[in-house]
């Protein structure tokens, strides 16, 4: 018997993202971690500014909810909220982001290149990015961070 895992919108034909042979995998355990909702996370928020984030304009503030962390501590997922203001940031890890709410402008040191993102956008910031993170409207996001 084959088991398929599907991904995609319900109105479009599903796309297979994994296929397994159930008879060969009957002794394997599947682990799924359910998060809270971004408006009501399961975990207790961390209210201190992140390491490598220094306020430089306005009165920015943040809350971080770590919803899941691997045993080795190298993969973190959760929710984050930030209030308007600007931080100078140094990224030490890769981060995948999806914005539920808000608007942010990133400006890279040295080049002055900017990128703007708003609610509904998904993007990745690579380890090594140094620049400013300007929260223009309250941000609510989900993140996945991979530490090398």
Look at residue 21 in the predicted model and tell me its pLDDT: 47
Residue % of the chain over a pLDDT of 90: 71
Q: Is residue 68 classed as helix, strand or coil in its secondary structure? A: strand
- pLDDT score recorded for residue 106: 98
Handedness of CA 96, 80, 77, 91 (dihedral sign): positive
25-to-2, 3, 20, 21 alpha-carbon distances in Å = 10, 10, 8, 6
Structure token digits, residue 15: 């796309």
Averaged pLDDT of the chain: 86
The answer, yes or no, to whether residue 19 has pLDDT greater than 90, is: no
Residue 139: CB atoms within 10 A of its CB come to 24
Mean pLDDT within 42-47:
94
Instruction: Look at residue 24 in the predicted model and tell me its pLDDT.
Output: 53
Mean pLDDT across 32-47: 89
pTM for the whole structure: 0.78
Confidence band for 34, pLDDT divided at 50, 70 and 90 = confident
How confident is the model at residue 25, as a pLDDT?
A: 53
Between residues 114 and 9, the one the model is more confident about: 114
pLDDT digits (tens, 9 = 90+) for 68-108: 999 999 999 999 999 999 999 999 999 999 999 999 999 99
Q: Selecting from 1.10.3210.10, 3.90.180.10, 2.60.120.10, 3.60.70.12, what CATH number does the domain 53-146 have?
A: 2.60.120.10
Is residue 33 very low, low, confident or very high in pLDDT (cuts 50, 70, 90)? confident
Half-sphere exposure of residue 5: CA atoms within 13 angstroms, side-chain side: 7
């Amino acid at each position: 018997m084959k088991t398929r895992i599907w991904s995609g919108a319900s109105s479009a034909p599903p796309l297979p993202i994994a296929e397994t042979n159930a008879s060969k995998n009957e002794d394997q355990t599947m682990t799924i971690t359910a998060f809270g909702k971004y408006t009501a996370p399961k975990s207790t928020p961390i209210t201190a500014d992140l390491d490598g984030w220094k306020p430089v304009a306005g009165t920015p503030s943040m809350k971080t909810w770590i919803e899941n962390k691997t045993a080795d501590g190298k993969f973190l997922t959760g929710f984050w909220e930030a209030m308007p203001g600007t931080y100078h940031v140094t990224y030490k890890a890769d981060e995948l982001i999806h914005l539920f709410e808000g608007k942010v402008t990133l400006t890279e040191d040295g080049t002055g290149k900017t990128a703007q993102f708003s609610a509904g956008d998904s993007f990745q910031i690579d380890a090594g990015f140094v620049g400013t993170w300007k929260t223009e409207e309250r941000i609510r996001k989900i993140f996945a961070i991979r530490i090398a």
